[in-house]
Structure 1
Amino acid sequence: MAAALALVCSAGVTATAAPQPSIAQPPATVRLDYTHSGNALGEQYAIERVLIEPLPWPGDMAQPFDATDRGNNRVEVVDAKTGDLLYSRGFSTVFGEWKTTEEASKISRGFHESVRFPKPDRPVRVRILRRDERNAFSVAWSVEVDTDAQDVVRRQGPAPARPFAVRNSGPSPRKVDLLILGDGYTQADMKKFEADARRLSDHLFAVSPFKERADDFNVWAMAVPTQESGISRPSTGVHHASALGTRYDIFGSERYVLTLDNRALRDIAQYAPYEFIEILVNNDTYGGGGIFGQFSTAAAGNDWADYLFVHEFGHHFAGLADEYYTSPVAYQASSTRMEPWEPNVTALRDPARLKWKRHVQAGTPLPTPWPKAEYEAESRAYQQRRAALRAANRPESEMSELFKEDLARSNALFAKAAYRNAIGAFEGANYEASGYYRPAMQCIMFDRSEQFCPVCRDGITDIIDLYARPTGVK
């Protein structure tokens, strides 16, 4: 039998997985760090370093290729001599989001990025692909990597914090490994971080399809203590130092929470097994964010933390698109209506080839009618009140009450709609009032409702299947 994976938790208790069928010794984990820079018109890449992370590769070596066609980018690792594909994964980047902002049309910026892959037994070429004007992947940059070369970083310093097990379902290669990182938690806040991580993880696995696939996940957690509680919120003059550098006001959006310090993030995360990362920030102010294949964030102390955790994880884990379109965002509208790669939105070029057609019952019209005009009228009034509350820096409890009122109005409006429970093509999604369509009238990717629609559940299940083999499957 393979040795059970064990980590020491913050309370000093060892969490041990149940015995599992024997699996091969996993290879080391390679990380390629590079700089991605440019502007709205072009981009460049430059290698920074190659290193071997402290822990072995957490993934399933029997599933090295990603066929989900998700993400704005894809990493491919190929044999340097033969060109044979050895590993691939789709992902998106912070740079890719920034490139769509107004700022990117005025200046150039650089962002630190990383790709990770199992250590090969030969020199390889690592290729970064991006979607072109046809929405197909083409090579944007490639670099040869020899993981046995002398300039590869092989030894890391001591871990800055101790990871603990929140959920341990079995050996990492057979499971999805989720790492919850804390930011803005002082040493005195560590018990609070552990409680937040367990509470929000429990909620994630109460939502389908994570609920039905809970045994396919391991969840780990760790936090590097900060000197002050909470993270930076520059729009209100709050600036706090932290190891991860997570902050509000990303790209000028008061609710958008990310870290732009990828190197710091990866240097901390490498001390726990992970394929996906959720950052909990020790704040009460509503906010979060999620980048497919990178990380997601959520304000753990907010009244809507359950929703934030699950919604933003939907972006990060499965590449689900935002289905709302009435809230202000930092991104500029696209001049074209290219079919999105995200599984839960469509430009509906051809209703007969709708990507979620199998969920649509005969007789459901495409596009599908819904009380769009009434919803938009109510939403305009709501957004004005929301902006006024933020401008006046009113207590967060008032914002929370506004969110409750908004959700109640939407529920009441939709309850009377003819296609309330149908899967169809409802216009208004992907930050656009027209030209893009979502599968359901209501879903957690559209508003603060509690559940994913069937199409989003399918999108999530595809990713779970890519990373996890259920018990009994060889």
Structure 2
Amino acid sequence: MPYLNRLLAGAALSAVAGLALAAQPATVRLDYMHTGNALNESYAIEQVVIEPLPWPGDMSKTIDTTNRGVNKVEVADAKTGKLLYTRGFSTVFGEWKSTEEAGKLTRGFHESVRFPKPDRPVKVRILKRDERNEFSVVWSLEVDTDAMDVVRKQEPAPAKPIAIRVNGPSEKKVDLLILGDGYTRADMAKFEAAARRLSDYLFTVSPFKERAKDFNVWAMAVPTQESGVSRPSTNTYHSSKLGARYDIFGSERYVLTVDNRALREIAQHAPYEFIEILVNNETYGGGGIYGQFSTAAADNDWANYLFVHEFGHHFAGLADEYYTSPVAYATGGARMEPWEPNVTALQDPANVKWKKFVTPGTALPTAWPKAEYEAHSREYQKIRAQLRKDNRPESEMSKLFKEDLAWTNALFSKAPNRKAVGAFEGANYEATGYYRSQQQCLMFDRSEAFCAVCSDAVQETIDLYAPR
């Protein structure tokens, strides 16, 4: 059990020192550059790394059956072509490509894929969905993980992981790593408290609540010199270890990091399959990229919601179901059937993707008080924008959010299809042409529960990592 012995250097982790199962293969990380613009993209290898800890996943569940993500990685035997490992994912580049900036210049983004170390040379393929929504290969290279130029020696861990919740060996559990950014050495107790508070809340929300025993949760933060992360729209700049910041792609509430190298070099010192980054800020904000990471402002009044909502994007590939808030990237154009499980273009109502959940007798599309909701939302968004423009105290924004949710709850409580599963027009950032399965879901507004379709998608992901 050398990997756990190294990891459990602190007394807080000593209780789990006996949890390892049979020896796991090493973890391989392929780092590469993904460059391009709105019309073109290309890939170039940077390095192959053997991470310090063994593979955290179940070696009997190496093939992804969920069919989610814009991209997919395939690892195949170089000689026979036999698939050894697959996972779907999306990228920051994929979102940036739809922005106005991508039509003007070319940019590069650092990315990584991780997989269990094979005992033979392999072919690693990156696939992308085409216009038919099918995966096709966009980059392929042969990798020998025993080659001389593979990086095998790492710097010591810059911080000790904290065991927040441990239910068994990593190989049989979903490993969630909570990273902190913008926390000084004096803020470390605050970070740990936030990680415990928000992860505890996650497991009060179904279906995470019912599957809580299938998760391990770890936390780690490398101290920064100043508290908080950058928020350029208010001329606030801080150096931070993960490079997380607000105003990504010009959206004031969008928080991501584009420093993937820094993220992976810190995260590699703890077992993980999923990452949520807590930023030490009060301002409302967060983000989530499927199969990469999610973020949340830990000090905001709505941190509980942010943590779960953004994790829904990262963990299960859930789409945003709202459509009246401005977003950072371009929407519109042809209404293709989304790959995300919780929204649809409803091209074939008789075979809607969540057919098994549709309430018997419910019409598709399904009636809801859409016009009234949109009229209210237009006024609400004007007030929200003005509060940000005037840089008003965050308490005023929180009050507005609370009032908006109360108004929405009151409106929906009187709607005839309030509890029905159907196809409600307005989702995926579009007022028309895309549909969600229920009137309310925490992927639609700041309510506290997933709809049935989102809940099922979360369960399917848990089963991929911690099968029942």
User: Given the two structures, how large is their TM-score scaled by the length of structure 2?
Assistant: 0.98
CA distance in 2, matches of 1:272, 1:356: 36
Question: For residue 161 of structure 1, what is the aligned residue in structure 2?
Answer: 159
Q: Secondary structure at the match of 1:16?
A: helix
The Cα shift of 1:330 comes to 1.4
Q: Secondary structure at the match of 2:343?
A: coil
The Cα shift of 1:15 comes to 4.5
1:3-402 alignment to 2 at 5 Å?
A: 7-8=7-8, 12-17=11-16, 23-402=21-400
CA distance in 2, matches of 1:33, 1:13: 32
Q: Secondary structure at the match of 1:220?
A: strand
CA contact (8 A) 2:332 2:430 kept: no
Using the aligned pairs only, state the percent identity: 75
CA distance in 2, matches of 1:25, 1:45: 33
The Cα shift of 1:81 comes to 1.0
More divergent stretch after superposition (101-110 vs 138-147): 101-110
CA distance in 2, matches of 1:214, 1:345: 26
Question: For residue 446 of structure 2, what is the aligned residue in structure 1?
Answer: 448
CA distance in 2, matches of 1:440, 1:149: 52
CA contact (8 A) 1:37 1:108 kept: yes
CA distance in 2, matches of 1:262, 1:373: 42
Stretches of 4+ moved more than 6 A in 1? none
CA contact (8 A) 1:54 1:271 kept: yes
Aligned residue type for 1:16: A
Aligned residue type for 2:39: L
CA distance in 2, matches of 1:80, 1:163: 36
The Cα shift of 1:379 comes to 0.2
Question: For residue 462 of structure 1, what is the aligned residue in structure 2?
Answer: 460
CA distance in 2, matches of 1:92, 1:118: 20
CA distance in 1, matches of 2:331, 2:312: 22
Aligned residue type for 1:81: K
More divergent stretch after superposition (332-341 vs 71-80): 332-341
CA contact (8 A) 1:182 1:224 kept: yes
The Cα shift of 1:16 comes to 2.2
The Cα shift of 1:440 comes to 0.6
The Cα shift of 1:105 comes to 1.2
Deviation digits for residues 326-356 of structure 1, max 9, x if unmatched?
A: 0001111231111000000000001111111
More divergent stretch after superposition (328-337 vs 108-117): 328-337
CA contact (8 A) 1:4 1:16 kept: no
Structure 2: which 5+ residue stretches go unaligned?
A: none
CA distance in 2, matches of 1:8, 1:401: 43
The Cα shift of 1:14 comes to 3.0
Q: Secondary structure at the match of 2:35?
A: strand
CA distance in 2, matches of 1:30, 1:5: 18
CA contact (8 A) 2:3 2:53 kept: no
CA distance in 1, matches of 2:73, 2:117: 14
CA contact (8 A) 2:71 2:89 kept: yes
CA distance in 2, matches of 1:277, 1:287: 17
CA distance in 2, matches of 1:137, 1:272: 31
Equivalenced residue count is 467
CA contact (8 A) 1:16 1:168 kept: no
CA distance in 2, matches of 1:332, 1:9: 47
1:421 equivalent to 2:400? Answer no
CA distance in 1, matches of 2:159, 2:331: 42
The Cα shift of 1:42 comes to 1.0
The Cα shift of 1:361 comes to 1.9
The Cα shift of 1:269 comes to 0.2
More divergent stretch after superposition (100-109 vs 25-34): 100-109
CA distance in 1, matches of 2:455, 2:298: 24
Distance 1:88 1:94, change over 3 A: same
Deviation digits for residues 169-219 of structure 1, max 9, x if unmatched?
A: 110010000000000000000000000000000000000000000000000
Deviation digits for residues 119-169 of structure 1, max 9, x if unmatched?
A: 000000100000001000000001110000000000001111111100011
CA contact (8 A) 2:3 2:52 kept: no
* Alignment RMSD (CA, Å): 1.4
Q: Secondary structure at the match of 2:287?
A: strand
CA contact (8 A) 1:4 1:170 kept: no
Aligned residue type for 2:199: S
CA distance in 1, matches of 2:393, 2:359: 46
CA contact (8 A) 1:185 1:225 kept: yes
CA contact (8 A) 1:79 1:122 kept: yes
CA contact (8 A) 2:8 2:17 kept: no
CA contact (8 A) 1:184 1:282 kept: yes
CA contact (8 A) 1:227 1:241 kept: yes
Q: Secondary structure at the match of 1:35?
A: strand
Q: Secondary structure at the match of 1:197?
A: helix
Deviation digits for residues 4-62 of structure 1, max 9, x if unmatched?
A: 9575487x423424966x84310000000000010111100000000100000000000
Aligned residue type for 1:13: A
The Cα shift of 1:3 comes to 9.5
User: Given the two structures, how large is their TM-score scaled by the length of structure 1?
Assistant: 0.97
The Cα shift of 1:469 comes to 3.1
CA distance in 1, matches of 2:17, 2:348: 49
Deviation digits for residues 299-325 of structure 1, max 9, x if unmatched?
A: 000000000000000000000000000
